[in-house]
Amino acid sequence: MISSPEAARIVLVTKAHLFKPTYPPSKEKMIGPEALFFHQGAYHSRLKKLVLAAFLPSVIRGSVSEIEQIVLKFLPTWENTTINTLQEMKRYAFDVAMISAFGHKRDSEMKGIKQLYQCLEKGYNSMPLDLPGTPFHKAMKARKQLNETLRRLIQERRGNEKAGGGGLLGNLLGAKNHKVDQLSDSQIADNVIGVIFAAHDTTASVLTWVLKYLHDNRDLLEAVTREQDGIQRKIIEENRRLTWDDTRHMPLTTRVIQETLRRASILSFTFREAVEDVEFEGYYIPKGWKVLPLFRTIHHCADFFPQPEKFDPSRFEVPLRPNTFIPFGNGVHSCPGSELAKLEMLVLLHHLTTSYRYPFILSFSP
């Protein structure tokens, strides 16, 4: 287990070729063995470039209006009712992930995909017992159906260039050059499934913690609301909608998200496996042994973050020590959708704070 920033950087960046990503076989089977998470080398590099191209700031800035429309339909459903915060955040993040993955979508297609995903998710962390009636068996059955659904969609879009629809799927479908053939249907399906799974689950968890920390820190909530009210006044004066540039002028709200990422550390650690015998800072790590960089331990170290248990967004007003804040991982396997995640959080918080007022009646279970 690696708990220093310098050691984590060696494993994830400077000596990353010696430590391959590794996951339990059941997870790999459920997401798909050809997803980029499970690979390194040329195949991984090619896929990473394609996935990153779908989540560049220059690309996702055009999604602000679509994300905002999701929020405007989503928030009113909370009124006069009791909600499960995490499940509602998953619902929101999933809808955003659908736009990013498929571009212009048909609701009929997306409804079926969403239902299969929900079944898949229920079995993801279950015991890998592939017996009738178990959550894992139901999830694997849904995974097979999801694969068939995506393959039909892929074939349709291959046969009709106008139906490409943009998004991650459009990027993967158009991926070929003089040296490399186009990706197979199974490669595309595995990577779409994997990216959506990663995109909606972690973002939903972070948003749930953001709401809790704002609920518990009312002075901070009021300050965030003032910042967002100022942006809202400008929007009304100029008779327009929220824009990408507006989200670049939310410094306090951004720091609240950053501090939530540190304090909650949704991605607590990551798995790596030594691909050969490695001498590491005086330790011998045999080939095949697991190496775990512990992000939560780094984020909660008092040497880097004084009073680490305190929720204090002002920490991010000054530059941090290198490699001490790595909520999205680091190196070639860092999260490609980090900018989209931050964008959808900012859009939701803007409308939540400007259209509604605390106190909400909130209950958070451990």
With H, G, I as helix, E, B as strand and everything else as coil, classify residue 280.
strand
Q: What is the pLDDT at residue 282? A: 87
Q: Evaluate the omega torsion of the peptide bond into residue 359 and state whether it is cis, within 30 degrees of 0.
A: yes
- Using pLDDT thresholds of 50, 70 and 90, give the confidence band for residue 179: very low
Q: Regarding predicted confidence, which is higher, 22 or 232? A: 232
Q: Span 53-72, mean pLDDT?
A: 93
- Interior CA angle at 89 toward 33 and 56, to 5°? 60
Question: How far is the C-alpha of 16 from the C-alpha of 311, rounded, in Å?
Answer: 32
Q: Measure Cα distances from 23 to 39, 261, 289 in Å.
A: 11, 23, 13
What is the pTM assigned to this prediction? Answer: 0.91
Q: What is the pLDDT at residue 245? A: 97
Tokens of 204: 């939903």
Average of per-residue pLDDT values in the chain: 89
Question: How far is the C-alpha of 226 from the C-alpha of 219, rounded, in Å?
Answer: 11
Radius of gyration of the chain from its Cα atoms, rounded to whole angstroms: 21
- 194, 101 contact by CB (below 8 A): no
- Using pLDDT thresholds of 50, 70 and 90, give the confidence band for residue 197: confident
The least confident of 105-114, 115-124, 317-326 is 105-114
The least confident of 38-42, 126-130, 200-204, 362-366 is 362-366
**Which single residue is written with the structure tokens 């997306």?**
110
- Using pLDDT thresholds of 50, 70 and 90, give the confidence band for residue 104: low
pLDDT at 276 over 90: yes
pLDDT at 180 over 80: no
Q: Among residues 20, 13, 14, which one has the least CA distance to residue 291?
A: 20
Q: Among residues 116, 134, 112, 114, which one has the least CA distance to residue 125?
A: 134
Using a pLDDT cut of 70, give the percent of the chain over it.
93
pLDDT in tens, 202-237: 999 999 999 999 999 999 999 999 999 999 999 999
Question: How far is the C-alpha of 364 from the C-alpha of 191, rounded, in Å?
Answer: 33
Q: What is the pLDDT at residue 358? A: 63
Tokens of 360: 């909400």
pLDDT in tens, 74-94: 999 988 888 899 999 999 999
**E strands along the chain, which residues?**
19-21, 272-274, 278-280, 283-285, 290-291
For the chain, domains (ranges, CATH) are: 5-355 (1.10.630.10)
Q: What is the pLDDT at residue 203? A: 94
pLDDT in tens, 137-162: 999 999 999 999 999 888 888 877 65
Strands 278-280 and 272-274: unpaired
Q: What is the pLDDT at residue 92? A: 95
Question: How far is the C-alpha of 74 from the C-alpha of 59, rounded, in Å?
Answer: 24
- 5, 298 contact by CB (below 8 A): yes
Q: What is the pLDDT at residue 165? A: 61
The amino acid sitting at 220 is L
pLDDT at 50 over 60: yes
Contacting residues for 286 by C-beta, under 8 A, at least 6 apart: 274, 277
